[in-house]
Structure 1
Amino acid sequence: IHMAIPRKKLVDSQNPGFYHCTNRCVRRTFLCGVDQHSGRNYAHRKHWLEKRMKALCELFAIEIYAYAIMDNHYHIVLYLDPKAPLNWTDDEVAERWLELFPGRPDQAINPRLRAMKKMAILHDTERLALYRQRLGDLSWFMRRLNEPLAKNSNREDDCTGKFWEGRYTSQALLDEAALFSCMAYVDLNPVRAKITDKLAESQHTSIKQRLDNIDSVKQLCPWKDEVTPVAGKVRPYPLPMRLQDYIELVEWTGRAIVKPEKADIPVHIAPTLDRLNLRKNHWLKQIENYGNNYFRVVGTIQKIRQKARLWEVRCLHGIAAAKLLYKSSRQE
């Protein structure tokens, strides 16, 4: 049983960090897949969601590093910097907010009315400060991602009512090992679901987008060989892993999931896990059982316990998995 933790505690509103967010459709008819009852295909909704999440990254202080849009749920691994909007000009804040709320979709944008709305924002310091704070808020990002899809889907289905199971769930990723583990887990969702055994055919995932952006992993130019976000630009530097190493790690993990009898880790991939202080023999188990191993946080034992103290709970799920995954006994 997981202890309830107030949502405002789960996401640090003062410091930047990485998070794994998920949401699930409540309906039998699925979010984006084929409704087995009626035979209708809702796959086009995956395009809606994929396009929407990338567009929102241009407005919020958020970068996306991994995502997977499945038939009835989706995953996003993102970086949030709640203080980044403090560096934006008042004009930029007003413009971003008006992009988020452009008006009714069935009405053409009135340039004069929009200009009046912008001036009203710029002359209201309290409202401007509120919008600035919201542009660095994860809940507002998820709200603006989920609400339009729910409304469009209800309109398409000619019905009303709840579309999502809940608002969303979030999981704090406390170190680089946790981040890359979660990214691989998300990128391999279609493989684990036995939809495909090829990353290049994993539709609506970040790993396919990364593969589409390069002609060949072996031909990566050194200056491009880095793991950067697939959407958004907030951090001034890439993640501390070569893109080629990450793709090779995900490719091998996917093959090992499909054919566990050939799961010995290749020599050229082992150094990647060593750099992350991870036990090679537990990496595959981590990816296969990620959803059961952790709940609100992922990281070393020490960092999980630090979060538990901060959130004033006795313990957090994930200690047992961390003991097996990380090499260092102290896990500092």
Structure 2
Amino acid sequence: MAIPRKHIVDSHSAGFYHCISRCVRRAFLCGHDPFTGNNCDHRKIWLENRMLELAEVFAVKLYAYAIMDNHYHLVLYIDPKAPQNWTDEQVADKWILAYPGKSQFREARKQIILNDKEKLKKYRYRLGSLSWLMSRLNGPLAKQSNTEDFVKGRFWESRFTSIALLDETAVLSCMAYVDLNPIRAGIVEDLQSSLHTSIQKRISELSADITQLARPIESVAGTLKTYPIQMTLTAYIQLVEWTGQSIIHPDKASMPIHINSLLNQMNLQPHHWLNQLTHLGRTNTYVIGSVQQFKNKARLLKKKWLKGIKATRLLYSNE
């Protein structure tokens, strides 16, 4: 039985989530469509730009993303309480960025919002809501794509999938899974060629600031103040790069000592890493975390167990 999103996404506490949206009609709605000959890669560019823009508007920080031909992934941190500390003017400005409308009316709209306490209260809540963020990301793309295709109806398969990431190990594992999507799909063979992914964005930005390599991993977009993930960007890129090459060349997947050490630091089982990472998105689980965190979440939801605990025992060490 499906678990309602309100039990997975905590609307009162900050947390990390892995979100997935998939197209409803046949594949290639965001890439090259072999049936019509149309190339829709421009939608990937629009979607990527919109992701980065909305991360500056909503109370989120974006840590990983990958845009594929018929679906996309996000790993993000959201803080529902952050908008409570924003000024009224900030709330009004951000809401207008989320719903731009016609430019000549924006100042008037802003004054209407500022003069309406109920609107301000409602918009504060929405700017900290994962569902409202995904709505502003998916809705406009669906309308634009349907207009281009001269069709009506659903563009996305269903409401987006959301998976709670309960600890830093789950976040890092999910980030690597997302960044490696194009390689696992056989589209590219190296990280630099993985277009429309956060790892490609991180690598391309290193030329402007090489000192990022020695720093803990920060988000690729977002204005929230959060603690950075306690792994250097150098270590993360090395981990993702080795994992990607091991997927492409499984016969040469001898794990270097420094990668083994990284996985041990993350409380992960090195000998299960490749297999578990490949199947991380296929378990239909609602949460990713340690066995104890699974049990705690199940108890909170008044359930005897949650799907995915077997995979967790293989992924985490000492479980």
Q: Same fold (TM over 0.5)?
A: yes
1:117 shift after superposition: 2.0
Q: Specify which of 177, 180, 183 is matched with residue 175 of structure 2.
A: 183
CA 1:311–1:55 in 2, change beyond 3 Å: closer, same or farther? same
Contact 2:276 2:315 in 1 (8 A): yes
1:292 shift after superposition: 2.5
1:257 shift after superposition: 0.6
Task: Indicate whether 1:52 and 2:46 are aligned.
Answer: no
In structure 2, distance between residues paired with 1:246 and 1:278 = 14
Q: Specify which of 125, 128, 148 is matched with residue 136 of structure 1.
A: 128
Residue identity in the other structure for 2:261: P
Q: What's the counterpart of residue 78 of structure 1?
A: 76
In structure 2, distance between residues paired with 1:261 and 1:325 = 21
Q: What's the counterpart of residue 41 of structure 1?
A: 39
Equivalences, count: 319
1:264 shift after superposition: 1.8
CA 1:315–1:136 in 2, change beyond 3 Å: closer, same or farther? same
Q: What's the counterpart of residue 296 of structure 1?
A: 286
Contact 1:282 1:324 in 2 (8 A): yes
Q: Deviations over 1:82-123 (max 9, x none)?
A: 1111110011001111111122xxxx421xx33332222122
Q: Specify which of 141, 149, 153 is matched with residue 145 of structure 2.
A: 153
TM superposition score normalised by structure 2: 0.96
Contact 1:293 1:318 in 2 (8 A): yes
Moved over 6 A (4+): none
Task: Indicate whether 1:238 and 2:228 are aligned.
Answer: yes
Q: Specify which of 165, 168, 185 is matched with residue 173 of structure 1.
A: 165
Q: Specify which of 53, 61, 66 is matched with residue 68 of structure 1.
A: 66
1:195-234 correspondence runs (5 A): 195-215=187-207, 220-221=210-211, 225-234=215-224
Q: Deviations over 1:222-264 (max 9, x none)?
A: 7853211111121343211000000000000001111111112
CA 1:236–1:82 in 2, change beyond 3 Å: closer, same or farther? same
Calculate the aligned-residue CA RMSD, in Å.
1.6
3-state secondary structure, aligned to 1:221: helix
Contact 1:226 1:241 in 2 (8 A): yes
Residue identity in the other structure for 2:24: V
Identity %: 53
In structure 2, distance between residues paired with 1:275 and 1:224 = 17
1:136 shift after superposition: 0.3
Q: Does 230-239 or 191-200 show the bigger shift?
A: 230-239
TM superposition score normalised by structure 1: 0.92
1:33 shift after superposition: 1.0
1:147 shift after superposition: 0.4
Q: What's the counterpart of residue 256 of structure 1?
A: 246
1:126 shift after superposition: 1.6
CA 1:157–1:262 in 2, change beyond 3 Å: closer, same or farther? same
Q: Does 316-325 or 179-188 show the bigger shift?
A: 316-325
Contact 1:67 1:76 in 2 (8 A): yes
Contact 2:212 2:233 in 1 (8 A): no
Residue identity in the other structure for 1:171: I
1:288 shift after superposition: 1.0
